[in-house]
């Protein structure tokens, strides 16, 4: 149930890739700007500045982590920076692997995935708890002005919601504490120091493969297009027609919930890879806001699905009161409802994104 790949990500203002002149190598999805690849730039000259900048982000996050000490806000920000940089480096190593020294890139990618997964868990527990508490409070307090008009069902739910909240708080706080310890342990481990050393090296030098010195216009486009095609295939396999019809109640088919979510999670990861590849080629400033909306919808999809699963898990706690179980059932369905809403939002953003392509 715990997906290590959990982050509510904020796009970083990255360093724009160098070189001013088109030809336009942009793929079928919009990027907002023409490709900045000039004909006299090598693949390595595009990849290296991007990876240098992300490695510098990583080292900045590490420094912030060391300085933050007992400052939890600073520590959370440090972890966020480390995760975002690790994901971007690892995504770039993955997408542009043909241009890199694979013997160097592959193990580093594995280690970065381990690191960002480990760091993501604590954040995921925190945001899941916040999401579930917000939902419980919305469900049980309502927005109406007349408390006297509240029916018996509302009163019953309020009692159950308080208990369900306490139970979820206990379970997710415990999970968060464990994730926090695991993250601290990871950041102090020799395994992490090896990753940090490799990233420090990356801040000044990118080990390229033989194709890295070829012209960027000839070599960078194919790997990026490959990711894009995988993304388009993944989206084509989604039930978007159904998702476009509001209140289709599909995500509420709870028994198949986890299975039906899988292709959406898969699409989320591919869209992220695609966005990072676009950052490499066009710079983060050129990021398409509609694709960002689509990515946010898939993040929301994942968060809601995970929160629903957490409510279901809590409901299997032995010896809970029926009122608690009832509130957890309401919460579970509410979060699955939000899964459906996220699919609707993704479908909207996606159809906007693809409609914008001439």
Alpha helices in 189-319 (DSSP H): 190-202, 216-219, 221-236, 240-243, 257-282, 289-315
Nearest approach in angstroms of CB 89 to a copy of itself is 33
92 vs 267, beta carbon nearer a copy of itself: 267
Residue 282 or residue 332: which is nearer to a copy of itself going by CB? 332
Ramachandran category for residue 57: left, alpha or beta (phi over 0 → left; psi -120 to 50 → alpha): alpha
- C-beta neighbour count of 230 within 10 angstroms: 16
Q: Cβ 336 to a copy of itself, closest distance in Å? A: 9
CA distance 276 to 269: 11
CA dihedral sign, ordered 334, 340, 341, 346:
positive
CB nearer to a copy of itself: give 198 or 254.
254
- Cβ at position 166, least distance to a copy of itself in Å: 15
Q: According to DSSP H, which parts of the chain are helical?
A: 43-68, 72-95, 102-141, 152-188, 190-202, 216-219, 221-236, 240-243, 257-282, 289-315, 322-355
Closest approach of Cβ 251 to a copy of itself, in Å?
10
Query: Could you give the CA distance from residue 209 to residue 193 in angstroms, rounded to a whole number?
Result: 25
Q: How far is the CB of 109 from a copy of itself (least distance, A)?
A: 28
CB of 9 to a copy of itself, least distance (A): 22
Cα atoms in the 13 Å half-sphere on the side-chain side of 296: 11
Task: Compare residues 253 and 357 and give the one whose CB is closer to a copy of itself.
Answer: 253
Identify the CA nearest to 330 among candidates 128, 170, 138.
138
Counts of helices then strands in the chain (DSSP H, E): 11, 0
Footprint on this chain of a copy of itself (rule: CB under 8 A): 138-144, 146, 149-158, 160, 246-247, 249-250, 252-260, 308-309, 312-313, 315-316, 320-334, 337-338, 340-341, 344
HSE (side-chain half, CA atoms, 13 Å) at 290 = 15
The residue among 80 and 343 lying less far from a copy of itself, judged by its C-beta, is 343
- 2 versus 337: smaller Cβ distance to a copy of itself: 337
Handedness of CA 289, 291, 292, 298 (dihedral sign): positive
The pair of three-digit structure tokens given for residue 327, joined into one six-digit string: 């509130």
Cα distance between residue 199 and residue 197, in whole Å: 5
Residue whose CB is less far from a copy of itself, 84 or 331: 331
Q: In terms of CB distance, is 208 or 305 closer to a copy of itself?
A: 305
What span, in angstroms and rounded, lies between the C-alpha atoms of 217 and 235?
A: 27
Smallest distance, a copy of itself to C-beta of residue 272, A: 24
Nearer to a copy of itself, 207 or 239 (CB): 239
| Rounded least distance, CB 131 to a copy of itself, Å | 13
**Rounded to whole angstroms, how far apart are CA atoms 63 and 333?**
42
Q: How distant, in Å, are the alpha carbons of 41, 51, 146 from that of 46?
A: 7, 9, 62
CB of 215 to a copy of itself, least distance (A): 46
Q: Which two tokens stand for residue 193?
A: 């120091």
């Amino acid at each position: 149930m715990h997906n290590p790949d959990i982050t509510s990500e904020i796009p970083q203002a990255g360093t724009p890739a160098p070189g001013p002149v088109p030809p336009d190598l942009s793929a079928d999805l919009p990027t907002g700007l023409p490709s900045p690849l000039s004909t006299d730039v090598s693949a390595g000259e595009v990849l290296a500045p991007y990876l240098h900048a992300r490695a510098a982000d990583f080292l900045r996050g590490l420094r912030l982590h060391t300085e933050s000490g007992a400052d939890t806000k600073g520590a959370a920000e440090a972890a966020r920076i480390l995760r975002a940089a690790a994901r971007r480096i690892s995504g770039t190593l993955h997408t542009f692997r043909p241009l890199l020294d694979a013997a160097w890139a592959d193990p580093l990618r594995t280690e970065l995935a381990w690191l960002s997964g480990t760091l993501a868990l604590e954040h995921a527990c925190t945001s899941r708890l916040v999401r579930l508490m917000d939902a419980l409070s919305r469900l049980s307090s309502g927005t109406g002005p007349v408390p006297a008009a509240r029916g018996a069902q509302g009163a019953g739910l309020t009692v159950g919601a308080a208990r369900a909240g306490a139970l979820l708080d206990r379970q997710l706080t415990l999970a968060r504490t464990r994730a926090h310890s695991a993250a601290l342990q990871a950041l102090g481990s020799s395994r992490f120091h090896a990753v940090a050393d490799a990233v420090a090296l990356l801040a000044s030098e990118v080990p390229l493969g033989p194709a890295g010195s070829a012209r960027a216009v000839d070599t960078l486009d194919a790997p990026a297009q490959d990711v894009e095609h995988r993304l388009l295939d993944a989206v084509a396999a989604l039930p978007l027609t159904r998702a476009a019809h509001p209140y289709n109640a599909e995500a509420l088919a709870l028994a198949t919930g986890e299975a039906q979510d899988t292709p959406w999670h898969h699409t989320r990861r591919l869209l992220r890879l695609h966005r990072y590849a676009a950052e490499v080629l066009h710079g983060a400033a050129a990021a398409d806001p509609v694709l960002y909306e689509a990515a946010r919808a898939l993040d929301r999809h994942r968060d809601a699905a995970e929160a629903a699963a957490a409510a279901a898990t809590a409901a299997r706690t032995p010896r809970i009161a029926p009122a608690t179980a009832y509130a957890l059932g309401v919460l579970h369905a509410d979060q699955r409802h939000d899964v459906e809403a996220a699919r609707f939002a993704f479908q909207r953003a996606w159809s906007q994104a693809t409609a914008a392509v001439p």
